[in-house]
């Protein structure tokens, strides 16, 4: 869980003219300083240690004027994010045993579920559980079947984190479709290394991609959030929002409608054993005050599905993603997005 730095060859760094002012951060990973320009985020559900990234530039979307420009109107049209799904499997037998005879249909279902998170609607109903981001992912006409033992077992025990990053970079470099956000789905490898699911943050790679070892739609939606420029609700690479709650656009995840999140080390959620309803939330000192607004339903938090039927994006997260797609597409994506 946390952030991981990822080195890319010199020629893949963000072009100098497009870099904005650097943000001061204090990187550490096991005491090791990180200076890499390229950054990706890594997530899983078990690791609790925090790793901090060095962010190469501040985003154009982080000014009041620009934020105001991207306010989402309820009548706004949905913007399509074209995605290319790569099923990474060791062989055809594995494909059949895990994805069944009709993997296309399974992937369609997965994409529908991911879009529940983006739409904020309960499936097959008109009832909203969260804001509509006005973003929808849309699959390419085909699905890439990537047969590779090496890539399929990318997260096996023998690989260190750095090796995983390097191999993932090779996988993406060799199979990236430039007109899409590429999503690589690997065999589920429970039990193995941490940081199993990750995405490259915008501007940190010429190859926008999400790598997931799970077919859980909310996890993939979370990773897409990163790929479109969102940080965790508890992020402190820009400084802790917990210490500066009034300056929520400068600290934490740089957004204000994702309330300060002290995380699982400091907060506890009590649920009804049978219904799963959240009964109470408490946070220990010095963060008691944040219990009331703990964003456990936010898709970019590490509070899991257990606490909420479906996690969702907030309006400001959605606006940030729209802005990133619009303003940074020359930097991040080759694909042309619908502007509305």
**Residues found near Zn ion in the complex (CB under 5 A):** 43
Q: How far apart are CA 58 and CA 238, in angstroms?
A: 10
- Strands 181-185 and 79-89 turn out to be parallel
Give me the least distance between CB of 302 and Zn ion, in Å please.
8
The phi and psi torsions of 64 (rounded to 5 degrees) equal: -60, -40
Instruction: Count CB neighbours of 9 within 10 A.
Output: 9
Query: Nearer to Zn ion by C-beta: 121 or 234?
Result: 234
The phi and psi torsions of 336 (rounded to 5 degrees) equal: -90, 125
Give me the least distance between CB of 210 and Zn ion, in Å please.
10
Query: Nearer to Zn ion by C-beta: 43 or 324?
Result: 43
Residue nearest to Zn ion (CB): 43
Give me the least distance between CB of 95 and Zn ion, in Å please.
27
Give me the least distance between CB of 1 and Zn ion, in Å please.
8
Give me the least distance between CB of 232 and Zn ion, in Å please.
5
Query: Nearer to Zn ion by C-beta: 2 or 121?
Result: 2
Query: Nearer to Zn ion by C-beta: 89 or 213?
Result: 213
Instruction: Count CB neighbours of 309 within 10 A.
Output: 12
Query: Nearer to Zn ion by C-beta: 43 or 294?
Result: 43
Instruction: Count CB neighbours of 66 within 10 A.
Output: 16
What b-and-e string marks burial along 145-172, b requiring 16 or more CB atoms within 10 Å of the CB? ebebeebbbbbeeebebeebbebbbebb
């Amino acid at each position: 869980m946390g952030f991981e730095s990822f080195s890319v060859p010199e020629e893949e760094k963000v072009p100098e003219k497009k870099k904005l002012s650097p943000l001061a951060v204090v990187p550490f990973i096991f005491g090791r300083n990180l200076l890499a320009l390229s950054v990706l985020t890594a997530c899983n559900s078990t690791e609790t240690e925090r790793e901090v990234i060095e962010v190469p530039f501040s985003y154009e979307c982080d000014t009041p004027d620009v934020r105001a420009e991207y306010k989402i109107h309820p009548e706004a049209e949905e913007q399509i994010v074209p995605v290319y799904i790569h099923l990474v499997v060791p062989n055809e037998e594995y494909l059949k045993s895990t994805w069944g005879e009709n993997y296309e249909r399974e992937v369609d279902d997965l994409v529908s579920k991911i879009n529940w998170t983006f739409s904020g609607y309960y499936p097959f109903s008109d009832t909203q559980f969260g804001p509509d981001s006005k973003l929808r992912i849309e699959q390419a006409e085909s699905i890439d079947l990537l047969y590779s033992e090496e890539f399929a077992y990318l997260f096996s025990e023998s690989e260190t984190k750095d090796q995983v990053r390097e191999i993932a970079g090779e996988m993406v470099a060799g199979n990236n479709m430039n007109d899409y956000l590429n999503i690589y789905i690997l065999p589920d490898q429970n039990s193995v290394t941490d940081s199993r699911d990750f995405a490259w943050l915008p501007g940190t790679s010429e190859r926008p991609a999400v790598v997931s070892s799970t077919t859980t739609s909310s996890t993939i939606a979370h990773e897409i959030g990163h790929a479109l420029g969102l940080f965790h609700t508890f992020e402190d690479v820009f400084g802790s929002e917990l210490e500066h709650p009034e300056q929520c656009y400068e600290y934490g995840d740089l957004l204000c409608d994702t309330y300060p999140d002290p995380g699982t080390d400091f907060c506890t959620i009590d649920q009804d054993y049978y219904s799963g309803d959240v009964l109470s939330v408490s946070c220990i000192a010095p963060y008691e005050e944040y219990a009331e607004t703990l964003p456990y339903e936010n898709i970019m938090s590490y509070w899991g599905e257990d606490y909420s039927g479906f996690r969702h994006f907030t309006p400001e997260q959605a606006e940030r993603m729209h802005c990133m797609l619009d303003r940074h597409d020359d930097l991040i994506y080759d694909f042309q997005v619908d502007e509305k």
